[in-house]
C-alpha cells in the first residue's frame, strides 16, 4: 500500500475507533487532493483552473474533518444535522501546506492540488455552539446556498466543455468561449462567497462584507449575494446598509424565503415585532418547514406577550426538529413565568439536558424551579401548621365554653 494512502487509511480508522465522548488532545492531520482538467482551447485562466482543483481538495478535507469531529466527541453525534456538521468541520480545519502540480495532455492541462491540514476540535467549544445553535443557523443556511451554487456552476462548466468538444462551426465555438468566460466569472464570484461565508461563520463580519463586495462586482445580479451581505451588515448593527441590501435582493428575487427570513431578523433586532412577524409569515408561505423561522416568530410573539402564539410556534419548531434546544427553552420560560406550569416547564428543561447535558441556561432555570417548589412546599407546610394551630385554638375555646356552661 502506498505511504500516502496508508496514512489516510490510518487516520480514518483512528477517527472510527476512538471512543465517543473523548476529545482528542492533539490535532488530526488530514491530507486531501483535488484535480481539474483545463481545456486550453477555451482560454481558461491558469489561476481559475488551479482554484477549481484547490476547491475540490478543500471539499475532500472538510469531509475528512467531519469524520474526525464525529469521532472526537459525543457532543456532535445525533445532535447535529449533516449541514451543521459541515459548518463546524470547516471551522476547525486549518490548512498548513499545499502542493500544486500540472500535467499536459494534448489540449488539456490537469491541475492537481494536494493539501495538508489539521483538524482540532479543541479550537471550538462544541457544547456552547450546540447550546446556542440559533446563533449560527444563518451560517448553515448560507453554507447550503454556497454548496448548491458551486455544484450548479461545476455542472454547467462540465456541460459547456462537452458542447465545445462536439461543436463543429467556428461561430458555435466562439459562443461557447464567451460562455466559458462567464463561467469563470461565476466561479471566481463563488470563491469570494466561500471566503465570505467562512469569515461570517467565524464572526469576522466586516471582512465578510469585503468578500461579498468582490463577488457582487463580478455578478451584480445575484440576489443571494445581497442577502448574505445584508446579513453581515445586520451582525455589524449597520441596519441601514442591511436594509438596502435586502431591498435589492428582494427586487431581484421576490420569491426567496431566505431574504424574508433575514428581513424578519432585522426587524426583530430593532424591536419591531409586528414587522418581524409579517416577514416571518411570508418566509413560511414559501418554506413552511423551516424550524428556525417558527422559533424566531415565536420569540417575536413572546416579546408581544402573545404566549399562546409563542407556545404554538415553539411547539411547531420542535415537531420539525425534535432536538431544537432553544425552542424547548423558549416554551419552558413561558410555561414557567407566563402560565406558572412548573411541571411542564421542568419536562421541557429536562429534555434540553438530555440533548445538551451541560446546558447552563436549562440548569439555571431548573434550579429556580426547584427553589420555587421548595418555597411552595414550605408555604403549604406553614399553611397546614397554621390550620392545625387554629383548629387547636378553636377546640380549646370550645372546651372552655363548655366548662363555663356547666359551671
User: Residue 36: which H helix or E strand, with range?
Assistant: strand 28-39
Which of 156-170, 200-214, 302-316 is predicted with the least confidence, judged by mean pLDDT?
A: 156-170
What the block records as the C-alpha cell of 109 is 492541462
Looking at per-residue confidence, does 7 or 256 come out higher? Answer: 256
pLDDT band at 128 (very low <50, low <70, confident <90, very high): low
> Which ranges in 304-406 belong to alpha helices (H)?
307-320, 325-333, 342-355, 360-406
Q: Are 16 and 69 in contact (CB under 8 A)?
A: no
Residue 146: the pLDDT is 82
The answer to whether residue 199 scores a pLDDT higher than 70 is yes
Average pLDDT over residues 130-157: 77
CATH topology of domain 136-254: 1.25.40
Tens of pLDDT, residue by residue over 69-88, are 777 665 565 667 777 778 88
Q: How far apart are CA 84 and CA 138, in angstroms?
A: 10
pLDDT band at 5 (very low <50, low <70, confident <90, very high): very low
The answer to whether residue 380 scores a pLDDT higher than 80 is no
Residue 119: the pLDDT is 86
The answer to whether residue 251 scores a pLDDT higher than 50 is yes
* DSSP 8-state symbol, 23: P
Residue 130: the pLDDT is 64
Q: Where in the chain is the domain with CATH 1.25.40.10?
A: 136-254
Mean pLDDT is highest, among 4-18, 109-123, 161-175, 238-252, for 238-252
The answer to whether residue 125 scores a pLDDT higher than 80 is no
The answer to whether residue 404 scores a pLDDT higher than 80 is no
Residue 76: the pLDDT is 60
Average pLDDT over residues 158-186: 89
Q: How far apart are CA 139 and CA 88, in angstroms?
A: 10
pTM comes to 0.70
In this structure, the number of other CB atoms found within 10 A of the CB of residue 361 comes to: 17
Residue 376: the pLDDT is 66
The mean pLDDT value of the chain amounts to: 84
> Positive or negative CA dihedral for 356, 361, 367, 373?
negative
Which residue, among 314, 278, 319, 308, has the nearest Cα to 294 in the 3D structure?
314
What the block records as the C-alpha cell of 183 is 463561467
3-state helix, strand, coil in the chain (%, to 5): 75, 10, 15
pLDDT band at 89 (very low <50, low <70, confident <90, very high): confident
The answer to whether residue 249 scores a pLDDT higher than 80 is yes
pLDDT band at 20 (very low <50, low <70, confident <90, very high): very low
Tens of pLDDT, residue by residue over 282-317, are 999 999 999 999 999 999 999 999 999 999 999 999
The answer to whether residue 18 scores a pLDDT higher than 50 is no
Residue 313: the pLDDT is 97
What the block records as the C-alpha cell of 312 is 404554538
Tens of pLDDT, residue by residue over 331-353, are 999 998 888 888 999 999 999 99
Amino acid at each position: 500500500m502506498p505511504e500516502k494512502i496508508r496514512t489516510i487509511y490510518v487516520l480514518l480508522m483512528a477517527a472510527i475507533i476512538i471512543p465517543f465522548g473523548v476529545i482528542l488532545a492533539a490535532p488530526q492531520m488530514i491530507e486531501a487532493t483535488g484535480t481539474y482538467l483545463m481545456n486550453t482551447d477555451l482560454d481558461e485562466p491558469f489561476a481559475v483552473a488551479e482554484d477549481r482543483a484547490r476547491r475540490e481538495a478543500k471539499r475532500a478535507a472538510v469531509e475528512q474533518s467531519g469524520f474526525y469531529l464525529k469521532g472526537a466527541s459525543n457532543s456532535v453525534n445525533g445532535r447535529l444535522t449533516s449541514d451543521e456538521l459541515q459548518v463546524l468541520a470547516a471551522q476547525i480545519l486549518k490548512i498548513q501546506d499545499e502542493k500544486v502540480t500540472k500535467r499536459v495532455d494534448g489540449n488539456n492541462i490537469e491541475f492537481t492540488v494536494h493539501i495538508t491540514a489539521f483538524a482540532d476540535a479543541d479550537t471550538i467549544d462544541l457544547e456552547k455552539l450546540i447550546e446556542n445553535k440559533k446563533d449560527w443557523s444563518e451560517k448553515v443556511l448560507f453554507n447550503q446556498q454556497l454548496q448548491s451554487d458551486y455544484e450548479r456552476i461545476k455542472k454547467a462548466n462540465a456541460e459547456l466543455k462537452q458542447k465545445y468538444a462536439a461543436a463543429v462551426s467556428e461561430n458555435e465555438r466562439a459562443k461557447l468561449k464567451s460562455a466559458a468566460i462567464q463561467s469563470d466569472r461565476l466561479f471566481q464570484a463563488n470563491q469570494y462567497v466561500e471566503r465570505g461565508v467562512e469569515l461570517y461563520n467565524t464572526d469576522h463580519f466586516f471582512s465578510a462584507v469585503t468578500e461579498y463586495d468582490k463577488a457582487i462586482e463580478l455578478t451584480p445580479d445575484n440576489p443571494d449575494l445581497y442577502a448574505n451581505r445584508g446579513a453581515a451588515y445586520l451582525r455589524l448593527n449597520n441596519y441601514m446598509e442591511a436594509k438596502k441590501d435586502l431591498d435589492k435582493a428582494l427586487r431581484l428575487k421576490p420569491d426567496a424565503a431566505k431574504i424574508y427570513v433575514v428581513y424578519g431578523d432585522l426587524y426583530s433586532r430593532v424591536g419591531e415585532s409586528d414587522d418581524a412577524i409579517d416577514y416571518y409569515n411570508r418566509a413560511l408561505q414559501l418554506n413552511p418547514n423551516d424550524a428556525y423561522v417558527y422559533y424566531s416568530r415565536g420569540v417575536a410573539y413572546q416579546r408581544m406577550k402573545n404566549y399562546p402564539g409563542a407556545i404554538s410556534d415553539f411547539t411547531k419548531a420542535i415537531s420539525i426538529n425534535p432536538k431544537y434546544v432553544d425552542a424547548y427553552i423558549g416554551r419552558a420560560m413561558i410555561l414557567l413565568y407566563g402560565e406558572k406550569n412548573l411541571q411542564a416547564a421542568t419536562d421541557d428543561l429536562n429534555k434540553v439536558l438530555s440533548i445538551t447535558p451541560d446546558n447552563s441556561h436549562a440548569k439555571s432555570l431548573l434550579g429556580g424551579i426547584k427553589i420555587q417548589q421548595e418555597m411552595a412546599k414550605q408555604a403549604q407546610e406553614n399553611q397546614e401548621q397554621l390550620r392545625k394551630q387554629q383548629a387547636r385554638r378553636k377546640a380549646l375555646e370550645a372546651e372552655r365554653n363548655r366548662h363555663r356552661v356547666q359551671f
